Structure 1
């Protein structure tokens, strides 16, 4: 009996050794093909990626088969060696599950052609996009589940080569969880956005961040696009002056408290995007468009100079009135250069409109590189420079799961946002640097006392020296009867709105250390504290709001949400996690 046991154990050991060698070969093939797949996806070589994805699936399936037999399973409990075997088994199982979930992408990806051509007018295969969208939820779930399983493996006791593989896969899966989950809502709606179920009308607003508004900047020009069965056609492009001729926007589509805070600005195309909550802008734009044209706008998009630069990276340069505009100079051209070259506002509007026509015209004809577009838009999307609203409640609800919706979350919790609206009637916000520091503070019992500190730095040259008149003008002062140098000295007036946590109240507001009384409003449940802040060229001003906020249960350790408004000079912010609340009691006698 003992001899039989020894022979059996020896046979199992030999079998395991053979299997281990085979598994190592399979895992190496998996690693090699995985790197190839990653490079192909980064290069947006979708035809090759589909083929490689099938190979990766076969590699994972082979590795899974080699590590899932009973002998391997039993050996996983052997001291020391068992840890390596268990890790190999788990990793193989995870990769097998993920690649099986991704199997529909093997045929769908090659149909997403990476570059538009004039022959197909830039048409995208909406059926293939739908196939990808349908596969994504299962793939996202597999990635999340795999991340949990691999994360439970302690790499410490493993052999270096095994530990390295576990750590690498764990890191890759963890970093992929968010993007996969975030991609699902947008991918599910993308075929409809591209007109798979009938023609859609898009209104694209070009926001000039040099004259700040809540969602970015003053609308300088707009484009009307039509999408139908994956094709995009530019129907119209004009300067905002075409919209200014009326009719006025009926602001009744947004909440009463918003109308009370922002007033008549919401009825004008020059100020209707004063709130940073882009769904408000979308609703107002759609309502205004309907009143102007008697047509429905299915989607409203907001883009700024950085998005235009990203689009030019995909289309290549365009020439406008003898000036070559490309991805390297577009942001500066739209923020400063166009005003320095032409001092007539009407000409500036015309040039901006011609640039919009040239860029979107290239997209209509398919003269763009899809991989370059996807890569170059990542940063503008992260910075809330590309915003999207849908005139359909179900679609909009899905979009609001994503940052691209420009939504200001309306739920209780630690939150801060500094919002700049230009009050000087100029383009001086191109020189404004904004920094926000949110200190959630400490709490006792049911209240947390914290502070939002905002620093405003006007980096314009002293006395506005060298700035074009159109940029430098203080329209607000001229309207009040001022004349002379004071109306063009590099100064500005900032309408500053500080958004605080839901339910909070300001107990102290200071401007440069002196106590002031802010105008108080409400936007998407958030209290808003407003100050009008004059600022000279080269001056730095600080605003501090000390606030009391109701405690949200179990909020200790939570990282506050601090959002930055898109600006020419990117706004900065900082915060720290919430500390645990203290409880106290008062004993009276």
Structure 2
């Protein structure tokens, strides 16, 4: 059959179309292969970078080696970024289905490379010039020059990390394959950690020179909280030490026993709205300054108590025996004047329980407590410390709200105010509802060493677009003291029946600071005594009392509801003697 007649221009146009289609197909195949090969290469680089990052974490005791490893790490992350940012890859990001996957991978590679090359590498380069020894005290003195040199690159690094974190947080997860979504979520979490770490380093680099006396002598009050007798922020103030810093030199210049410090008929400072919850006690007794949940007020109260004893201090530092145990991992065991060896394993039990079995005189107990804090401090200032373990110990103590810091200097306090070190009241924001779950001893004893909290936080009504949502808090307390605690434990531990509490019974006075904007749906007190409370600012506070005999467990349940799109929640709890019990509990609606 003869071919249909087509005019010559039409035949030419047909051939052009066919060849154009064939070329498009070939180009598509080439582009697919190109993207596939480059994607595989980028994956290999990122996987190698992930492995290298773990190795770097183990090299922090050798900053020079770590700095060199970070340069190698940067070579891999830069390669991954370059492989996922060429014009062909960028053009394919506009395609349906595969496009969002490619865009997410490119965003991840770019964010990781920025953090490594523009944040970690400059910091490592500066630190590497000084070496590890620069971070160790020598003859009781720390060279503040290293922190001054780190300040500028640390603030730049903090900005870079925050920008990378925000970019990954903004990636739309909805069109992503599960494997890609999981990778993006993992990087999101890592960038959150990197942002926190670089921000903390930047603030520390700005704060430490002045606090170490680079601008002249400074006096600080170090208070040690005793978790065997609960207060909101951890425990009573059992001992306090005065530390003087001058041109980086650190010296322990005095000890104060809270039992020897005068109490007052009226608060030494105005307690504001907290007076409705805690009455006057936080302002009348040094032991109770940690009863308020805001450490900036605790710091000012402690400063005023010290001033009335003739001691002027410009800042207040607080830690507990659990934080001391973390520091002992960096210093190793220390010897006490009593002949005891204080270690990371025995510090909590020795300081919060054994001392009361050994000494009946409260002054002897306070002296033992103070000598332990002084011994750890001395070990830190002697320079016989592992810098990497010290950083880990300080970081963990801060994250768990066991290390707190307040400064009377407005500029310093402004830097502290945006960190957990400032001990702020937990505040609800657009993403997270936060509760304060605080416990105070009502026994007048050291029974809280035997009391264990079990706290759960759960959401209801988490479906997409579902409101209102209900958040339920359960707080269970168990008294694990011996059945015969009334006779087998010393009076100083049991309270001996003081304040109307039978010996061996542990009384807890708790407060729950509800998230602003949430209303109470139900509240049940397993003690059978109901709830009291009041308002602090725009937050409702529910208070309760719970009495526990040895072996007994009781629970309170509080459910709150709000017409909100918030899907995450946190409960900030009183840090206890149990290092395995995190003072920060998190809960999420999940599938949104």
In which range does the TM-score fall when normalised by the shorter chain? 0.7 to 0.9
Paired positions, count: 556
**Aligned partners of 1:156, 1:19: CA distance in 2, in Å?**
17
Indicate the SS of the match to 1:529. strand
| 1:233-382 paired onto structure 2 within 5 Å | 233-242=251-260, 244-245=261-262, 250-258=267-275, 261-293=278-310, 295-298=312-315, 300-320=316-336, 321-382=338-399
Partner of 2:533: 520
Partner of 1:208: 226
Correspondence for 1:538 among 551, 556, 560: 551
Does 2:542 correspond to 1:529? yes
| 1:113-512 paired onto structure 2 within 5 Å | 113-114=131-132, 116=136, 118=138, 121-123=141-143, 125-145=146-166, 147-148=168-169, 156=177, 170-196=184-210, 198-199=215-216, 200-228=218-246, 230-242=248-260, 244-245=261-262, 250-258=267-275, 261-293=278-310, 295-298=312-315, 300-320=316-336, 321-411=338-428, 414-437=433-456, 452-464=473-485, 465-474=487-496, 476-477=498-499, 489-502=503-516, 511-512=525-526
**Aligned partners of 1:47, 1:255: CA distance in 2, in Å?**
51
362-371 or 186-195, which deviates more: 186-195
Partner of 1:584: none
268-277 or 316-325, which deviates more: 268-277
CA apart distance, 1:458: 1.5
CA apart distance, 1:269: 0.8
**Taking structure 1 as reference, are residues 143 and 497 closer, same or farther at Cα in structure 2, changes over 3 Å only?**
same
Does 2:572 correspond to 1:563? yes
Contact 2:447 2:506 in 1 (8 A): yes
**Aligned partners of 2:80, 2:556: CA distance in 1, in Å?**
60
Indicate the SS of the match to 1:221. strand
**Aligned partners of 1:448, 1:473: CA distance in 2, in Å?**
43
RMSD of aligned C-alpha atoms? 4.4
Indicate the SS of the match to 2:201. helix
CA apart distance, 1:216: 0.5
Contact 1:248 1:288 in 2 (8 A): no
**Taking structure 1 as reference, are residues 174 and 67 closer, same or farther at Cα in structure 2, changes over 3 Å only?**
closer
**Aligned partners of 2:173, 2:458: CA distance in 1, in Å?**
34
Partner of 1:582: none
**Taking structure 1 as reference, are residues 284 and 64 closer, same or farther at Cα in structure 2, changes over 3 Å only?**
same
Partner of 2:66: 49
Unaligned 5+ residue runs, structure 2?
1-14
CA apart distance, 1:545: 5.3
TM-score normalised by L of structure 2: 0.78
86-95 or 562-571, which deviates more: 86-95
CA offsets, 1:437-484, max 9 Å, x none?
5567789x999887654433211111305323321233624xx7xxxx
CA apart distance, 1:420: 2.0
Contact 1:494 1:533 in 2 (8 A): yes
**Aligned partners of 1:373, 1:470: CA distance in 2, in Å?**
34
CA apart distance, 1:270: 1.7
CA apart distance, 1:510: 5.2
**Aligned partners of 1:453, 1:72: CA distance in 2, in Å?**
51
Unaligned 5+ residue runs, structure 1?
158-162, 481-485, 580-589
